[in-house]
Structure 1
């Protein structure tokens, strides 16, 4: 499709969703399985968003959530990439490290909250830990997949030219695995937001997740939607930023154009 038509099509799809939301909320549409009786209208959500922007709470909520995501995600990037490189290249590391990680991987973020509160002296550290666990496993698994997917002939060629283990890792393994690593980084950013919001709903005092949950407890339904939209926009924007940075550091990798 011509790129000139893609953005109008995307904007039209968003406009169609907004129109459906407006009609369903104003008409109190009841479809049996799902009802819009108590769903706020887009205009009510816009008013709530304006009120939040004009208040002093927005900066505090945003700074708290962004700080937690940044720290937890950065730690997950370091741990996930290093562990993934080790497990992908070493049978010993795979046999000793991967089994306990695979046991921990299916545990949802909400299940970590009680234990995180017991393990860490502050709620701030526990929320960063939950964000870390959410981002860790997508990064780890994609790194392992990328390392194992490197063509063995490239490694053999590098060895035949006299390259050592560190040179092979730096010049062959990491560049070859980089596209998969970038994919894991983008997925990990999205899951880190999901896990952070879950943690903030239970043990936070500031943050977008806490704001959303607090709005629910006091039945400010428009504020709930504002919080949800903020989470969506922040998650989408941060994931897009990671993808853009990944495209910048992997100029040799190009995804085939979609029709």
Structure 2
């Protein structure tokens, strides 16, 4: 039978561990924000060039909720711009993921397809996606389509390369065992190859969604007249560096949420990894 002190420890220490875990996660960001605030207010640089976090938070709040109109034309328009950017990321990322997984599986599985297709893809892969901007504008005009095209280019190759790696790294004994059980080539692909390659595929998807956000912001600076990237670039022209940093924070937040969504999906699909993969201490 537990004593009073044992019951107290059992009730208190799990909560203490939870609190310490939360503190560990926010300690570094809070320290960086405090140093930034102190440096900005020290006068080493004009606050117009390096706004303190408090000013950035105020600009972001007005951009989101239209508090006092300090964000001027963009007051209260954050949700509209965030949705526009998210739509472009989602469209380009979905096309890149579908094509990258299908083509990567085919290249990793078939030597004939690898010999035919991969050399061309490897020639295209080193070309920076931003170098396609002039052609994208010529082909698609000033609208959503050039941004979606650039997002696709940025997200496609991480998915493709990780899928190829995942397929090629499969234990051949699994494939031999499936073949000995009478599985057809299609069944080998759907029941053994693709499931075994999923950890690598999800790694590619997480890299790709980060690239997708970088490319959509780049496209919005040049080829689109809406979205978070457009607000960032327009604010730069009007020397509103608090809005520039607020847009940067927004991009980071949206990218984090996108990655977190993929992590949740990965945890659901790859439940078996919880007992086979080492976690941090």
Q: The TM-score by the shorter chain falls in which range?
A: over 0.9
* Secondary structure class of the residue paired with 1:253: helix
Q: Which runs of 5+ in 1 are unaligned?
A: none
**TM-score by structure 2 length?**
0.86
Quick check: 151-160 or 7-16, which moved more?
A: 7-16
Q: Calculate the TM-score normalised by the size of structure 1.
A: 0.93
Q: Which residue of 1 aligns with 2:50?
A: 39
Counterpart contact for 1:88–1:144, Cα < 8 Å: yes
RMSD, matched Cα = 1.7
Residue in structure 2 matching 1:23, options 38, 61, 64: 38
**Is 2:21 aligned against 1:10?**
no
Aligned to 2:176: 156
The CA deviation at 1:28 is: 3.4
1:64 aligns with: 84
Q: Which residue of 2 aligns with 1:104?
A: 124
Cα distance in 1 for residues equivalent to 2:22 and 2:104: 37
Q: What is the 5 A alignment of 1:115-126?
A: 115-126=135-146
Confirm or deny: 8 A CA contact 1:84 1:141 kept in the other structure. Answer: yes
> Which 5+ residue runs of structure 2 have no aligned equivalent?
1-13, 67-74
CA distance in 1, matches of 2:22, 2:112: 49
Distance 1:134 1:93 in 2: 23
| Corresponding residue for residue 170 of structure 1 | 190
Per-residue deviation at 1:36? Answer: 7.9
Q: 1: distance between equivalents of 2:257 and 2:43? A: 32
Number of residue pairs the alignment of both structures matches? 254
From 192, 197, 203, the equivalent of 1:183 is 203
The alpha-carbon deviation at position 182 of structure 1 amounts to 0.7
User: 1:239 Cα deviation (Å)?
Assistant: 0.7
Residues 80 and 140 of structure 1 are in contact (CA less than 8 Å); yes or no, is this contact kept in structure 2? yes
236, 256, 259: which one pairs with 2:278? 256
**SS state of the match for residue 214, structure 2?**
helix
- Structure exhibiting the larger radius of gyration computed from Cα positions: 2
**Secondary structure at 2:273 match in 1:** coil
- TM-aligned CA deviation for residue 177 of structure 1: 0.2
**Structure 2: distance between partners of 1:165 and 1:121:** 44
SS of residue matched to 2:272: coil
Which residue of structure 2 aligns with residue 49 of structure 1? 60
